[in-house]
Structure 1
Amino acid sequence: MLSDLKICVVGLGYIGLPSAALLANRGYQVQGVDICPEVVDTINKGSIHIVEPDLDSFVHSAVNSGHLNASLRAEPADIFILAVPTPFHEGFVPNIDYVLSATKAIASVVKPGDIVILESTSPVGTTEKVAETLRKAGVDTDALHIAHCPERVLPGHIMRELVENDRIVGGITQEAGEKVAEFYRTFVTGEVLLTDARTAEMAKLTENSFRDVNIAFANELSLLSDKFGINVWELIRLANRHPRVNILQPGTGVGGHCIAVDPWFIVHEGGEDARLIRSGREVNTRKTEWVVEKVQNEVLAFREDKGREPVVACMGLAFKPNIDDLRESPALWVFQKLVAAGIDPMAVEPNVKKHPSIVLTPWKDAAQQADIVIYLVAHREFQNLEVMGKVLDFCGVTEA
């Protein structure tokens, strides 16, 4: 029976908590582990610390049923899921420190026959390093079933996509892959596809790099259109009428925990053979720098024309529309650069109630008070918003 199996999810962030809550509501006994006491306390009260549609009801139900509890230390379980961040060090060097720390945290409680799953998006070879770390801790990894199954969900749709999306399972061994695939088939309605661990790791990096390169094409078009005096939104609409063309929409840049990070994992290992992927990253980074330059030029023109400092509003700080996630956000980076340049803009982020270091302004107030309104993220609240000042639209809000 499902209730006889215990699952330990290490990392209760944007992937770990939804996964833990979903599995608990499917009848598994789930222990969530996080290093942050505030996160653990919040979850054990049946509440959430992140914004994601439907997650609150899943967590509330899971905790109240007794199938989900959170703690600071891992306990013995049958299935261990590692869902921790994989950022990069300075110079875009992959950082798997959190993965290795999570692995060490379970080393003392894993037992023969257990399943260990790395869900964190990781550089090629990381799953093997998980096994190596466990071996160094004295664990007989030949008696474990270790595999990589990268998450493939879209923020804002996580609870649905955890179930409906196809999943890739890459085992250290064929038997491990089959065991882990069997587990995912108990709650995934999409197809569960088997491969080896390295291919599974590369598949996730490939998916995000594909997105990054295609966004870079749209962002490069926006830079060229500005230079040529062309409306990029109209240009893309017209080009997309071709039956085999589907250009994405340009924006402030690319952010988030995956697309802005994962291509560097390939570039770091691939070197000169990863030229296109590197170029995509550089174009998207350049787009964000260009946004700052455009805003600074507009502020300078206002000063010269009006003889005073303009009131500037940065509309949106999240890395994409309608979420609260600020990780690697180009909009947040633009805001911070403008602050550093002495412009002191208002910060508007309707999906964040409070920020530890940024004073947030309600979007309607900012729209009425600002001399220059900068649309950085196309949140739904900004659609058809009455604005009093000059508009700089970098994400297509006014083109909807």
Structure 2
Amino acid sequence: MSFETVSVIGLGYIGLPTAAAFAAARKRVIGVDINRHAVDTINRGEIHIVEPELDVAVRAAVTGGFLRASTQPEPADAFLIAVPTPFKGDHEPDLAYIEAAGKALAPVLKKGDLVVLESTSPVGATERLADWLAAARPDLSFPQQAGEQADVNVAYCPERVLPGHVMRELIENDRVIGGMTPRCSERACELYKSFVRGECVVTNARTAEMCKLTENAFRDVNIAFANELSIICDKLGINVWDLVRLANRHPRVNILQPGPGVGGHCIAVDPWFIVDSAPEEARLIRTAREVNNGKPAWVMNKVEEAIEQAQADGKQGKDLTIAVFGLAFKPDIDDLRESPALDIAIELASRHPGRVLAVEPHISVLPDKLNSPNVILVDLPTASAQADIAVLLVDHKPFKELSMPAHLKIIDTKGIWT
């Protein structure tokens, strides 16, 4: 059975680009989101998030009649679930959004449909989704009940895209597809091959779930090595940026660049899903998370040292102006999710009695979490002219091109002004 109509549940940073990609392949796409503002914005042919080339793709899809958004699921041939998987308790995966999405689409399922979970999930989440669907629709059979003869096929296919390059990487990158049965995998491959030019690599659902978590845990461990190295070098009076450049001249060494921590919806979150599944065994993965989670506190200590030095030079704390450069979790995007830079700015605003100037060229309004009377969103020239202390947290391109005044005390967590 071919896939003429595709429904994407969750129209965020992954769901909306995926919906646009299917629409560009001339599939009829129904995007579903509980956010009425997002739905209305998309139906006008506009976007509610920032991602290069996405605005053009969505406008073309909507005006061409291939994409429309709704707050309620409607019948389709394939359903993709791309909703968040946050934490609850002590870094325990919260599958409430996945469960809600499954129960919302269950009433419109029919024989021959395919359901694909794209949300980053702990191992076993696809099976739990299939159980929720089966409980909601006892009139249909699912892979855990009927195997290859199931009325509805279920698979897992994680995204692996880079914010800022999502539209290109959705098409070019390989996809790992894990069906609950070989038939489920086969049908999911058929669906994705409508727009994916990379290879669709088949495995089972549990391995596909673990693959996504493994990719991000690998990166987290390597970033933790760089961040720990930067702390050691600071203690020993060594320029870590010079050290990394020298060490990386070894043909089999590739140390990553240190930073203020790790953010985003993947690397800062996914390793905890592995730790939750195997707490006694995931010792290195847990330690890497703790190292990276502890880096913002180290940055705050460096800021406190700069404040104390300024006070020793005769300036009162309330008269000091501190500028933080960057709030996003990585360069050249507007995404603030799990951002260590934002956390540092929030902490600084709560501790510092003077003005805090926030410089983030990709947003026009400060997030609610940074809504403090002493915090002002300003442009680059204003911050560099008025600040006494500059804290570089994100290596946005405009920051790299900036020459900082000589009087500024600088805490550079990215090595671009060092």
TM-score, normalization: structure 2? 0.93
CA distance in 1: counterparts of 2:242 and 2:110, whole angstroms: 60
User: For residues 237-290 of structure 1, what are the alpha-carbon distances to aligned partners after superposition, in whole Å with 9 as ceiling and x for unaligned?
Assistant: 000000000000000100000000000000011111000000100110111110
Indicate the SS of the match to 1:143: coil
Query: Which residue in 2 is equivalent to 1:396?
Result: 415
Q: What is the alpha-carbon root mean square deviation over aligned residues? A: 1.3
Cα pair 1:254 1:260 within 8 Å, conserved: yes
Alignment of 1:57-206 (within 5 A): 57-139=56-138, 140=140, 141=142, 142-206=150-214
Structure 2: gaps spanning 5 or more residues: 143-149
Indicate the SS of the match to 1:227: helix
1:312, distance to aligned residue in structure 2 (A):
0.3
Query: Which residue in 2 is equivalent to 1:11?
Result: 10
Indicate the SS of the match to 1:122: coil
User: For residues 112-136 of structure 1, what are the alpha-carbon distances to aligned partners after superposition, in whole Å with 9 as ceiling and x for unaligned?
Assistant: 1101000011000000011000011
Query: Which residue in 1 is equivalent to 2:392?
Result: 375
Indicate the SS of the match to 1:271: coil
1:374, distance to aligned residue in structure 2 (A):
0.5
Segment of structure 1 superposing worse, 257-266 or 305-314: 305-314
- 1:23 counterpart = 2:18: no
1:306, distance to aligned residue in structure 2 (A):
2.5
Query: Which residue in 1 is equivalent to 2:145?
Result: none
Match of 2:334 among 324, 330, 353: 324
Match of 1:244 among 231, 252, 259: 252
CA distance in 2: counterparts of 1:299 and 1:44, whole angstroms: 50
User: In 2 relative to 1, CA 342–390 (structure 1 residues): closer, same or farther, beyond 3 Å?
Assistant: closer
Indicate the SS of the match to 1:273: coil
Cα pair 1:317 1:329 within 8 Å, conserved: yes
Query: Which residue in 2 is equivalent to 1:347?
Result: 358
Indicate the SS of the match to 1:8: strand
Cα pair 2:119 2:158 within 8 Å, conserved: yes
CA distance in 2: counterparts of 1:70 and 1:303, whole angstroms: 56
Q: Aligned residues: percent identity?
A: 55
Q: Which amino acid aligns with 1:198?
A: R
CA distance in 1: counterparts of 2:44 and 2:297, whole angstroms: 42
CA distance in 2: counterparts of 1:149 and 1:197, whole angstroms: 8
1:398, distance to aligned residue in structure 2 (A):
1.9
Query: Which residue in 1 is equivalent to 2:147?
Result: none
1:6, distance to aligned residue in structure 2 (A):
0.6
Match of 1:290 among 280, 283, 298: 298
Cα pair 1:368 1:386 within 8 Å, conserved: no
Cα pair 2:115 2:154 within 8 Å, conserved: yes
CA distance in 2: counterparts of 1:363 and 1:11, whole angstroms: 35
1:356, distance to aligned residue in structure 2 (A):
4.4
Cα pair 1:85 1:120 within 8 Å, conserved: yes
Cα pair 2:173 2:197 within 8 Å, conserved: yes
CA distance in 2: counterparts of 1:114 and 1:368, whole angstroms: 60
Query: Which residue in 2 is equivalent to 1:267?
Result: 275
Cα pair 1:163 1:189 within 8 Å, conserved: yes
TM-score, normalization: structure 1? 0.97
Q: Which amino acid aligns with 1:328?
A: E
Indicate the SS of the match to 1:256: coil
Query: Which residue in 2 is equivalent to 1:217?
Result: 225
Q: Which amino acid aligns with 2:110?
A: K
Query: Which residue in 1 is equivalent to 2:344?
Result: 334
Segment of structure 1 superposing worse, 283-292 or 351-360: 351-360
Cα pair 1:384 1:398 within 8 Å, conserved: no
Cα pair 1:86 1:122 within 8 Å, conserved: yes
1:397, distance to aligned residue in structure 2 (A):
2.1
Indicate the SS of the match to 1:272: coil
Segment of structure 1 superposing worse, 147-156 or 85-94: 85-94
Q: Which amino acid aligns with 1:127?
A: T
Indicate the SS of the match to 1:373: strand
Query: Which residue in 1 is equivalent to 2:146?
Result: none
CA distance in 1: counterparts of 2:308 and 2:135, whole angstroms: 59
User: For residues 344-382 of structure 1, what are the alpha-carbon distances to aligned partners after superposition, in whole Å with 9 as ceiling and x for unaligned?
Assistant: 421111111223434421122111111111100000010
User: For residues 302-328 of structure 1, what are the alpha-carbon distances to aligned partners after superposition, in whole Å with 9 as ceiling and x for unaligned?
Assistant: 123223231100100000000000000
Query: Which residue in 1 is equivalent to 2:285?
Result: 277
Question: How many residues are matched?
Answer: 398
CA distance in 2: counterparts of 1:46 and 1:110, whole angstroms: 28
Structure 1: gaps spanning 5 or more residues: none
Indicate the SS of the match to 2:208: helix
CA distance in 1: counterparts of 2:401 and 2:131, whole angstroms: 55
Cα pair 2:6 2:30 within 8 Å, conserved: yes
Q: Which amino acid aligns with 1:101?
A: A
1:342, distance to aligned residue in structure 2 (A):
2.9
1:90, distance to aligned residue in structure 2 (A):
3.0
CA distance in 2: counterparts of 1:91 and 1:395, whole angstroms: 30
CA distance in 1: counterparts of 2:367 and 2:356, whole angstroms: 17
